[in-house]
Amino acid sequence: MATEYDLWKIFPRMPKKVTIGDITIRDGFQHCEKFISTQAKIFYGQEMILAGAKEIEVTNLGSAVTTPQFADAEMILTALRSDEFKKRCGKAGINYGEIVMTAVTIRESAVDRAIELKKQGIGPDRILMMVSTDPEHHFANSGTTLSQYWREAEKCIAKARDAGLKMCGTVSTIWGSPISGATKMEDAVEFTKRWFSIGAHDIEHADHDGSANAADVYRYCSMVMDAMPNPEAHLLHLHETKRVASSSILAALMAGFTRFEGTLGGLGGQPANFLDDSPIRGTGDYYYEDPRFVGLICLEDLLVQIDELGIEHGFDVDRVLWLGKKMEKTMGGHLRSEVIYNGRTVKAGHMKFARPGLKKLIEKAGEKPGQNAPAEWPAKAILPKNWGPADPIWKK
């Protein structure tokens, strides 16, 4: 049987078009131990939209005691909802009405705040609550049992729907927990169904500590698509701790996922428990030893991966790479993107590096342009009966 070389024929669920969300100014900055200025947050939020982001996570509406990085939440939302920014979008040919802005609202008080901001005309379009399949990890994030939280989430979804807000239900620790270790993927599928059963709009499937590998991501995403086969209902959220997340992205594409998200420079991770010169609550002790190797999948590298697979994404890639370089200045050091330095694969090559002597040498040797083997050799190579390791001459 002949081998099939077309990836889309081998994996018929694999999309030709995807949506990549930007969560830099929320999830990316929550990990920072210095306060990122409101001006910088507004700049990156607006510029990512102008670069093509249709889905963007803009802030956390939870308590500023826990996450003071987002004490400026209302200022960020006000700037992103301003008439001035809407005009900029219009001039850039961007349909402002298509942009979905998300705010994290882990507890009911934050949901109530989102609803109030919505009434004021500056609220988010979509809010997010989160459960973990590991009860210990869930308690560390929310301070509740899973049963208590499910009841609260059901109540919050009803409120959100009445207010015209979409609710994203996150399922975390799908591929393992930094507290309790291995988890069952079947539990995460059941949690996804439970979110939909209480009215959630869509689900973020999250690996919050880099536990995932490509084989298990393919298996899990396929399980989800078998059980709930609407790709718009599912979003993949991957953290990067071992430089293997790009293989998991490909696995998820093969399984039929079409929505992904990342951060500029691969920023992000567990909420900081220190800000500027003061310890803060955060979510307690860190789950990691070295913050240099913690973060989300790098948006710049993810975008180039998708772009070079020939999958439509809607971004101005060069503008995003420019923003990635700016982000390194904002953060004061080298981040995790490779492509902002190495760029995209240029199909036309880099002829400025061509050696001038080749053309003359071809002419001197009497060869034809494009000739890549001696003229007296057959046009196509002919394999001998015994070749390579099968050739007796190589036997010991």
DSSP 171-210: EE-SS-BTTTB---HHHHHHHHHHHHHTT-SEEEEEESSS
Q: Are 131 and 155 in contact (CB under 8 A)?
A: no
User: 298 with 210, same domain?
Assistant: yes
pTM (predicted TM-score): 0.94
Q: CA 191 to CA 181: how far, in whole Å?
A: 18
Q: CA 262 to CA 282: how far, in whole Å?
A: 21
User: 45 with 158, same domain?
Assistant: yes
Q: Per the structure block, which two tokens stand in for 256?
A: 């039929």
Q: With a cut of 80, say whether residue 47 has pLDDT above it.
A: yes
Under the banding of pLDDT at 50, 70 and 90, the label for residue 283 is: confident
Segment 79-99 shows an average pLDDT of: 98
Q: With a cut of 90, say whether residue 347 has pLDDT above it.
A: no
Query: Between β-strands 126-132 and 55-60, what pairing exists: parallel, antiparallel or unpaired?
Result: unpaired
Residue 1 forms part of a structural domain: no
Residue 348 forms part of a structural domain: no
Residue 219 forms part of a structural domain: yes
Q: CA 221 to CA 14: how far, in whole Å?
A: 12
User: 42 with 171, same domain?
Assistant: yes
Q: 205-237 as b/e, with b when 16 or more CB fall inside 10 Å?
A: bbbbbbbbbbebbbebbbbbbeeeeebebbbbb
User: 196 with 235, same domain?
Assistant: yes
User: 277 with 383, same domain?
Assistant: no
Segment 29-38 shows an average pLDDT of: 97
User: 255 with 299, same domain?
Assistant: yes
Closest CA to 141 of 290, 353, 284: 284
Across-strand partners of 102?
A: 57, 126
User: 52 with 134, same domain?
Assistant: yes
User: 298 with 265, same domain?
Assistant: yes
The DSSP H or E segment spanning 323 is: helix 317-331
Q: With a cut of 90, say whether residue 137 has pLDDT above it.
A: yes
Residue 350 forms part of a structural domain: no
Q: Identity (one letter) of the amino acid at 310?
A: G
Range of the domain at 366: 357-394
User: 227 with 368, same domain?
Assistant: no
Cα 156 to chain centroid distance, Å, stands at: 26
Residue 292 confidence (pLDDT): 80
Residue 12 forms part of a structural domain: yes
User: 172 with 227, same domain?
Assistant: yes
Query: How far from each other are the two terminal CA atoms of the chain, in whole angstroms?
Result: 34
Q: Write the DSSP string, 355-392.
A: -THHHHHHHHHTPPTT--S-TTS-SS----SS-GGGSG
Residue 79 forms part of a structural domain: yes
Q: Per the structure block, which two tokens stand in for 70?
A: 């987002």
Q: CA 264 to CA 262: how far, in whole Å?
A: 7
Tally of domains within the chain: 2
User: 201 with 267, same domain?
Assistant: yes
Q: 53-79 as b/e, with b when 16 or more CB fall inside 10 Å?
A: bbbbbbbbbbbeebbbbbbbbbebbbb
Segment 138-162 shows an average pLDDT of: 97
CB atoms within 10 A of CB 386: 11
The DSSP H or E segment spanning 340 is: helix 339-342
3-class secondary structure, 27 = helix
Q: With a cut of 80, say whether residue 106 has pLDDT above it.
A: yes
Residue 293 confidence (pLDDT): 83
Q: With a cut of 80, say whether residue 1 has pLDDT above it.
A: no
Residue 239 confidence (pLDDT): 95
Domain harbouring 173, CATH code = 3.20.20.70
Segment 52-57 shows an average pLDDT of: 98
Residue 349 forms part of a structural domain: no
What is the average pLDDT value for the chain, to the nearest integer?
A: 96
Q: CA 156 to CA 150: how far, in whole Å?
A: 10
- Residue 220 backbone zone (phi > 0: left; psi -120 to 50: alpha; other: beta): alpha
User: 190 with 51, same domain?
Assistant: yes
Residue 333 forms part of a structural domain: yes
